[in-house]
């Protein structure tokens, strides 16, 4: 007599059952090479993400922050800045400051809140003294002395008019050069002009030079190492033509 089969159990399944007292174990197959390679790639990506996360956290250091709220155009005074420890990523460390004294006299380009990190793009720093004005103006390279460099002292001479009506004025005396850069041409190439940046003792000098760049031809005379006398003439006019004729 055939054994009674459960409705959901087939005859083949019944015949495949193990005899009583014998235990069947499923054979575990080892992962193939593709699976191992996939696991290694996943592990490598996890390690990379962890390293990048730790690297982006940066290094803690003491950086300059605003000690009070600073408005655009305000110059920094020593009491306006302080230092605090901040975790900065490498990309920001190069734009931050560690010494408040290097910013004394610099100007804020935008609003800075108290406690905010001071970054290079937020300020403009003067290269001259804290009490001096600065001005940049173009001048033809042929009208400046050869070998002129930052730190030299110069007189700036403006020549107005042409011919016998021309005259020259010293519009800047013994000014310190802060930088010299080659001007760019209209198509992005270098032009024959040099952009000269000088420190000015007063704003009147800036007005005179600004006017001369539009209305006169400028020349620069190196005065490094020379003394400046108040009695030296500042204006030159050629003698009238009749006075230059010899009998």
- DSSP state letter for 230: T
139 lies in the same domain as 191: yes
pLDDT of residue 245: 46
Asked whether residue 220 is assigned to any structural domain, the reply reads yes
Q: Decide which of 124, 143, 160 is a domain's last residue.
A: 124
Which tens digits make up the pLDDT trace of 193-235? 788 888 887 777 888 888 998 999 999 999 988 876 666 778 8
Asked whether residue 87 is assigned to any structural domain, the reply reads yes
Outline where DSSP puts E strands in the chain. Answer: 59-66, 81-88, 107-108, 123-124, 133-140, 153-160, 167-184, 190-200, 217-222, 235-236
221 lies in the same domain as 198: yes
Q: Report the C-alpha dihedral over residues 194, 199, 202, 207, rounded to 10 degrees.
A: 10
Asked whether residue 161 is assigned to any structural domain, the reply reads yes
Percent of the chain with pLDDT over 70: 63
pLDDT surpassing 60 at residue 59: no
Asked whether residue 184 is assigned to any structural domain, the reply reads yes
pLDDT of residue 187: 47
200 lies in the same domain as 171: yes
Q: Domain total for the chain?
A: 2
147 lies in the same domain as 77: no
Asked whether residue 32 is assigned to any structural domain, the reply reads no
Domain that holds residue 138: 133-226+233-238
pLDDT of residue 54: 47
pLDDT surpassing 60 at residue 18: no
Asked whether residue 7 is assigned to any structural domain, the reply reads no
Find residue 65's DSSP bridge partners: 82, 117
Q: What is the token pair recorded at 10?
A: 């087939």
Q: Decide which of 124, 141, 158 is a domain's last residue.
A: 124
Asked whether residue 180 is assigned to any structural domain, the reply reads yes
Asked whether residue 246 is assigned to any structural domain, the reply reads no
186 lies in the same domain as 204: yes
- CB 104 within 8 Å of CB 78: yes
148 lies in the same domain as 212: yes
Give the residue among 118, 71, 76 at the shortest CA–CA distance from 98: 118
């Amino acid at each position: 007599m055939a054994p009674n089969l459960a409705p959901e159990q087939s005859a083949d399944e019944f015949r495949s059952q193990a005899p009583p007292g014998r235990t069947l174990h499923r054979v575990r197959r080892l992962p193939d090479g593709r699976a191992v390679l996939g696991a290694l790639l996943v592990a490598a990506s996890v390690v990379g993400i962890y390293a990048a996360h730790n690297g982006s956290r940066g290094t803690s250091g003491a950086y300059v922050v605003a000690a009070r709220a600073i408005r655009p155009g305000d110059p920094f005074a020593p009491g306006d800045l302080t230092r605090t420890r901040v975790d900065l990523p490498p990309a920001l460390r190069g734009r931050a400051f560690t010494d408040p004294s290097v910013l004394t006299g610099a100007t804020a380009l935008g609003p800075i809140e108290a406690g905010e990190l001071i970054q290079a793009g937020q300020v403009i720093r003067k290269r001259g003294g804290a009490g001096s004005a600065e001005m940049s103006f173009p001048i033809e390279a042929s009208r400046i002395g050869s070998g002129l460099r930052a730190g030299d002292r110069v007189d700036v001479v403006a020549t107005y008019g042409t011919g016998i009506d021309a005259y020259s004025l010293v519009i800047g005396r013994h000014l310190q050069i802060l930088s010299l850069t080659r001007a760019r041409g209209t198509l992005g190439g270098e032009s024959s002009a040099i952009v000269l940046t000088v420190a000015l003792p007063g704003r009147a000098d800036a007005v005179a030079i600004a006017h001369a760049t539009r209305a006169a031809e400028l020349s620069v005379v190196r005065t490094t190492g020379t003394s400046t006398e108040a009695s030296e003439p500042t204006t030159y006019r050629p003698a009238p033509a009749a006075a230059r004729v010899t009998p």
